[in-house]
Structure 1
Amino acid sequence: MMRISELTVRFGSFTAVDDVTLAVPPGTVTGLVGESGSGKSTLARAVAGLTPYRGSVSGVARGRVQMVFQDPYSSLNPRMRVGDAIAEGSPASRGRRDAEVARLLGLVSLPASYARRLPRELSGGQRQRVAIARALAAEPELLIADEITSALDVSVQGAVLNLIRDLRAELGLTMLFISHNLAVVRYVCDAIAVMRHGRLLETGPVQEVLAAPAHPYTRTLLDAVPSLAHA
């Protein structure tokens, strides 16, 4: 069980994340939702060890949290070939590297031949698949996906979400899935955690929270998505 306990992030006098406590059971996907500026991405960066914080994160080893970022165009080194980018974080020996890269590319439904390509030769959706493969190469105990479809064309968003669902089922991934889109969260996640102004307002099984939200802010988010509000 990955547990976030009383986690607080401050930037000077500004409190970005305020005393958040949250548990993510193994093999499940928890959706972290809220409007822009709610603190959800800052919380994720703290859990990943990218931002200093007060409080504790337990149940996951240091270095075993991997993050997939929103923009696939800036998250990959433009001068590094796909295979090298994926292999960089893998514990596989040099002799097994090519086979491991091919296996990881297969997991994200890309041909092994893509290992020789540069990021500029790929589409946005393909780059995001490479970013996911690179994160999986490190064999993470927790995978954080931070708005991973919001920078993609609508035509490929669904394919990436289906990939996440397939990987979760195949690998038993434990994930923290950040999104402002409640329809996406309902499709991908088991549980939901709602944030606003750095504070956690409501948590619970995704179907229960979306069917009967306990906090008015959650209802506001839900009302902004008619297909969910009337489902």
Structure 2
Amino acid sequence: MNITDVTVRFGSFTAVDDVSLKVAKGEVTGLVGESGSGKSSLARAAAGLTPYRGTISGVARGQVQMVFQDPYSSLNPRMSIGAAITEGIRVPRAQRPTELARLLELVALPASYTDKYPRELSGGQRQRVAIARALAARPQVLIADEITSALDVSVQGAVLNLMRDLRTELGLTMLFISHNLAVVRYVCDTVAVMRHGHLVESGPVDEVITAPRHPYTRALLDAVPRLGRA
């Protein structure tokens, strides 16, 4: 997916200002920055959820799926887990039960969860359902927007490990958004750093972390004890 000269405005406020970014096929690109940096606005533009100026190419229409920060608000509380996931499945009706079982297995949830409702699940389990629902459409690009920040610390690692496993198993192309460079380093191949709607630095994740060029990147590193200080 190629994001070229993309600008996102909300009235007179410019959330994203002329940003270009490549999300290489089969790789995980991290997008990092503090709250208000514009990273989520850029992600929503890439997913077709927010109007923008510029060009987003290299991906078919409707082939970008997004997993949001709050797994509870992104799921319909009146729909069972099975119904929520099946809603996004794009295979013939007769094949949907088999596909639903495959998706639940991918995100390490038992088949018995198909009849449960979001209120019956933990935050980590609900986020796994949201990931399965996004994967149901077999997207060319998966966007993960701060998918662990609303979860208890005890389950954040399990969800990050799941994303790493899914990337390996499915060869996923991902845009992974976080404010935490430690998380980005664990999950991503490359990273782009945003500040005040601008892209200030990008490159291979280990290169950016071990030898940051921009003062803002260094400030983000300073917020994560011992990261990049081998």
TM-score interval, smaller chain: over 0.9
Which residue of structure 2 aligns with residue 39 of structure 1? 38
Amino acid at match of 1:13: S
Report matched runs for 1:46-125 at 5 Å: 46-125=45-124
1:35-75 Cα distance to aligned partner (Å, 9 max, x none): 10000000000000000000010001110000000001101
Report matched runs for 1:150-229 at 5 Å: 150-229=149-228
CA distance in 1, matches of 2:223, 2:100: 42
CA distance in 2, matches of 1:185, 1:61: 26
CA distance in 2, matches of 1:229, 1:84: 44
CA distance in 2, matches of 1:201, 1:15: 16
CA distance in 2, matches of 1:227, 1:120: 38
Amino acid at match of 1:209: V
Identity %: 78
Structure 2: tracts of 5 or more residues without a match: none
**SS state of the match for residue 209, structure 1?**
helix
1:75-127 Cα distance to aligned partner (Å, 9 max, x none): 10000011111011111211111111110000000011111111111110000
4+ aligned runs moved over 6 Å, structure 1: none
Amino acid at match of 1:81: S
Amino acid at match of 2:184: V
Which residue of structure 1 aligns with residue 29 of structure 2? 30
Structure 1: tracts of 5 or more residues without a match: none
CA distance in 1, matches of 2:228, 2:208: 12
Give, in angstroms, the shift of residue 12 of structure 1: 1.2
Amino acid at match of 2:146: E
Give, in angstroms, the shift of residue 158 of structure 1: 0.2
**SS state of the match for residue 71, structure 2?**
coil
CA distance in 2, matches of 1:63, 1:81: 24
CA distance in 1, matches of 2:216, 2:88: 40
